[in-house]
Chain A
Amino acid sequence: MRLSKPHGLPGTLICVEGIDGSGKSTQLAILRDWLKAKNLDVIFTEWNSSDLISQTTKKAKKKNLLSPRTFSLLHAVDFADRLEQIIIPAMKAGFIVLADRYVYTAFARDVARGVDRDWVRNLYGFAVQPDLALYYNISAEISLERICSNRAPSFYEAGMDLKLSNNPYKSYVIFQNRVNEEYSAMVDEYGLVRIDANNTIHTKQVLLRKYVTELLKQKGIEI
């Protein structure tokens, strides 16, 4: 499967992972601006944003129509569409591709939902292996504080489909703890780089730039 082999393409694929409120999107946005300021070719893509299916998935989520398996499959459709339309062409053209969430999001969330571990790994076997995958780690409790400062957790975010608790806040913590456990296991399995997301934006950005600079240097790009 493609995911288990180095991609061998001219481009560079960097992805950030972690539960909501870990600050990964902010980190990636700042990184993008910096790389662009260095006149590098950068492209950005985020989870569940394909033209093909993202609106359908969002609607189905609103109506609570999804089972763990259909939830998993629809996100895989989205990913497959973006992979073929955005990620692979950019990789072939030598871009730095920044992905806000990648296959590890599915591996963590879907397994936390009870989907078979091997099944979901096979499902995404066609994915390109990233050059660098960072896991921004914060506790479910802090994540809840951050995302619920202005809204309640949504049905699927809170894992309400799993009937863990009738209270969406309690359910969120139980479910996202499970997601974190799956991410943690992937540090060894896939070499995710674990980052303490409790640090300041600045500290985290300095660290991220260090990793990215080293990676690009290996590819012959000096910043």
Chain B
Amino acid sequence: MENNRKAHNHKGLLIVIEGTDGSGKSTQIELLRRWIEDKSYGCMVSEWKTSRLIANVIDDAKDRNLLNATTFSLLYAADFADRLENTIIPALDAGFVVLLDRYTYTAFARDVVRGLDFEWVKKLYDYAPEPDLIFYLDMPIDILLKRVIGTTGLDYWESGRDIGLSTDFYESFKIYQAKCLEQYNKMKPVYNFVSIDGTLPVEDIHNIMIEHVEKLLESGKLE
């Protein structure tokens, strides 16, 4: 695995928060957004699978179990391309700090777990700008399981039930999430993830994040 992508030339900053479901990404993004705006910077948040073009098609296809690994991957890639072109790049060009809840790494992890070739998926997203900062909320599998069961419950796709890992819902979820974590762990050093212990209190995680963001803002990269 190698990372041969180059820094982007857009005026703004691209900050990504990655992690599995239930790792606390949304909470941290909201805190970070407020902090950045308090500092008088323009900030925009964009979440995974929210394009006007295709997000509802993905939901519908998932509800009706219409997807295989390749169509699953390509629909998400189309969603990403639409958001990138219509939301993310324009904001970056306008000099915003763009906070992204999940980025290409989510696709890499999920698609590889679904059996697709990593080189193929990487090429699919090779036009995406390299983030300036990537946070990864690291959660041990046992705590992750409890969090998800205690909040949203076990989702069909987030349990990888489409790939027949186990007929037992709990087992399937555990195996799928463990496989995703394995992929994230492989990517950590390659893409320079700032890995943060997701079990820390919300405030502590936030403080670690703003330390990194502050350095980035002071680096002069943002014009």
Contact = CB atoms under 8 A, between A and B. Distances in A.
Interface residues of A, number: 26
A193 interface: no
Contact of A126 (B52, B70, B82, B127): B70
A53 B57 contact: yes
Contacts of B61: 52
Given A122-B123, A125-B120, A77 B53 contact: no
A67 B85 contact: yes
Interface stretch (B28-36, B73-81, B140-148): B73-81
A87 B9 CA distance: 43
A53 B81 CA distance: 16
Contacts of B54: 56, 70, 74
Interface string B108-141: 0000000000001001101100000000000000
A71 to B, nearest CB: 10
A73 interface: yes
A216 to B, nearest CB: 29
Contacts of A83: 70
Nearest to A77: B74
A183 B52 CA distance: 33
Interface in B4-23: none
A51 B61 CA distance: 10
Contact of B123 (A53, A70, A81, A119): A119
Contact of A122 (B53, B81, B124): B124
Interface of B: 52-54, 57, 61, 66-68, 70-71, 74-75, 77-78, 81-82, 85, 120, 123-124, 126-127
30 contacts: A1-B120, A52-B61, A52-B66, A52-B67, A53-B57, A56-B54, A56-B57, A60-B53, A65-B52, A65-B53, A67-B82, A70-B82, A70-B85, A73-B74, A73-B77, A73-B78, A73-B81, A74-B78, A76-B74, A77-B74, A77-B75, A80-B70, A80-B74, A81-B66, A81-B71, A84-B70, A84-B71, A119-B123, A119-B126, A126-B70
Pairs A-B, 5 closest by C-beta atoms: A73-B78, A80-B70, A122-B123, A77-B74, A69-B81
Given A70-B81, A70-B82, 13 more contacts: A51-B66, A52-B67, A52-B71, A65-B52, A73-B74, A74-B54, A76-B74, A77-B71, A77-B78, A80-B71, A123-B124, A126-B70, A126-B120
